[in-house]
Structure 1
Amino acid sequence: MMFITGPLYSGKRTFARQFAGSCITDVQDKAADAADLTQLAEELAQYDIVIATEVGGGVVPVDAGQRAAREAAGRLACLLAARADCVVQMFCGIPTVLKGELPKKC
């Protein structure tokens, strides 16, 4: 599984289109409602490409529920990165491989 993360509109989806396989996006949104993040990570790891938007780099929300959702999204990202064969961080359309090697392109 390849895990792609980065800020909004950083080119994650465009980059992912270069590779074959099943893809799921915006997985950070699933973290807030998950009863078991480990189980969620296992389910998501069945996809070939998993994309999550980095949500922890901005202003800390005043709302406790929003803070908890960000915490869960960050923990899910850690679990996914641990399971991934390849982890890519996108920034300004530039991919940086943090773990492993990129799979062959389509």
Structure 2
Amino acid sequence: MLFITGPLYSGKRTYAQKFGGRQIYEVQTRAADAADLAVLADELAACDVVTATEVGGGVVPIDPADRAAREAAGRLACLLAARADCVVQMFCGLPTVLKGELPEC
């Protein structure tokens, strides 16, 4: 599985589409409602490409539910990165490989 993460509008989806296969985008939104993040990570890892927006680099939300959702999204990203064959961080449309090697396009 290729896991692509980075800030909003950093080019994650455009970059991911080069690789084809079964893809799922913006999975951080699923974390808040997940009963078990490890089970969710296992399900998502069955896809070829998974993208998630980095949510930890901004102002901490004042609302407790929003803080919990942000925490869950970060934990899910950690679980996905652990399961991934390759992890890429996108920033300003530039990919940086953090783990593994990129699959053939």
Query: Which band: TM-score by shorter chain?
Result: over 0.9
**Cα distance between partner residues in 2 of 1:51 and 1:32:** 16
Q: List 4+ stretches of structure 1 deviating above 2 A.
A: none
Give the aligned residue type for 2:100.
G
| Match runs of 1:1-106 below 5 Å | 1-105=1-105
Question: 3-state DSSP class of the match of 1:34?
Answer: coil
**Cα distance between partner residues in 2 of 1:29 and 1:16:** 18
| Identity score, percent | 76
Q: TM-score normalised to the size of structure 2? A: 0.99
**Cα distance between partner residues in 2 of 1:17 and 1:30:** 21
Q: Count matched residues.
A: 105
Q: TM-score normalised to the size of structure 1? A: 0.98
**Any stretches of 5+ residues in structure 1 without a counterpart?**
none
**Cα distance between partner residues in 1 of 2:71 and 2:53:** 13
